[in-house]
Amino acid sequence: MNETMIECRGISKSYRKGNNIVTPLEALDLTVRKGEFLALMGPSGSGKTTLLNLLSGIDSPTSGSLTIAGINIATLSRRDLTKWRAKHVGYIFQLYHLVPVLTAFENVELPLLLDSMSKKERHAKVHAALELVGLDDRSHHTPAELSGGQEQRVAIARAIVADPPLLVADEPTGDLDRDSALRILELLRELAREHHKTIVMVTHDAKAAAAADRTLHLEKGQLLEAAV
């Protein structure tokens, strides 16, 4: 699949830290195909999370164009960017960010509650997402009743329940044992290959990066192809 999902041209991000101007990203170019699973690696402070936040619409670039699915989100207002993000991006965190008092079902349902769909349609989407990650039979369990790997799978179900075309993952296996991590990586591969999700994953783990279609290293605000 050669259709472009992400196209960054000359992206820079600067912010003030005390009396200094910090520029974690400078004139960065990046193209990601629809359905591609991309891993980003690099040392701490190299700008990986900054880039992830730009791609997900959490933050905006200081300069440059950032086009996702044909929309230059760098030009959107904060209000329009929030609306765009709700429909187009699912975010997967290292520490899951599940609500402890809610069941797996209720955690996955959260992104849909502001939508105008019927309760029946909403519940059907939640069950479909939980089934996809293999946890529909655990839908009434709270996070405390789940393993770390199961919690992350619930978090992935929450990220995909609204059917966004783009998933961004920040160290999604960083808090998991090896077997659970392998299962999460296989699930991400399935989402890219069989469900055509575009996935951008930040990781420090070379074994996790090996699960992706392509790996790029971010160093001093610039992207470099991984060494073969």
Q: Where are the domains of the chain?
A: 34-58+88-225
pLDDT at 215: 94
Measured on CA atoms in the order 183, 186, 191, 194, is the torsion positive or negative?
negative
pLDDT at 228: 39
pLDDT at 22: 84
pLDDT at 67: 94
Beta strand segments in the chain, E: 4-17, 20-33, 37-41, 63-68, 71-72, 89-92, 166-170, 198-202, 214-219, 222-225
* CB proximity list for 113: less than 8 A, separation 6 or greater: 122
Give the HSE-up count for residue 153: Cα atoms under 13 Å, Cβ half-sphere.
Answer: 25
pLDDT at 226: 52
Superfamily the domain 34-58+88-225 falls into: P-loop containing nucleotide triphosphate hydrolases (3.40.50.300)
pLDDT at 11: 92
Query: Measured between alpha carbons, how far is residue 167 from residues 16, 119, 137, 171, 203 in Å?
Result: 29, 25, 24, 13, 14
Residue 62 has a CB neighbour count (10 Å cut-off) of 16
Measured on CA atoms in the order 120, 159, 70, 82, is the torsion positive or negative?
positive
pLDDT at 227: 44
CA distance 225 to 214: 8
User: Each residue's pLDDT tens digit in the chain (228 positions)?
Assistant: 569 999 999 999 988 888 888 888 888 999 999 999 999 998 877 888 889 999 998 888 999 999 999 999 988 888 898 889 888 999 998 888 899 999 999 999 999 988 888 999 999 999 999 999 999 999 999 999 999 999 999 999 999 999 999 999 999 988 888 888 999 999 999 999 999 999 999 998 899 999 999 999 988 777 876 543
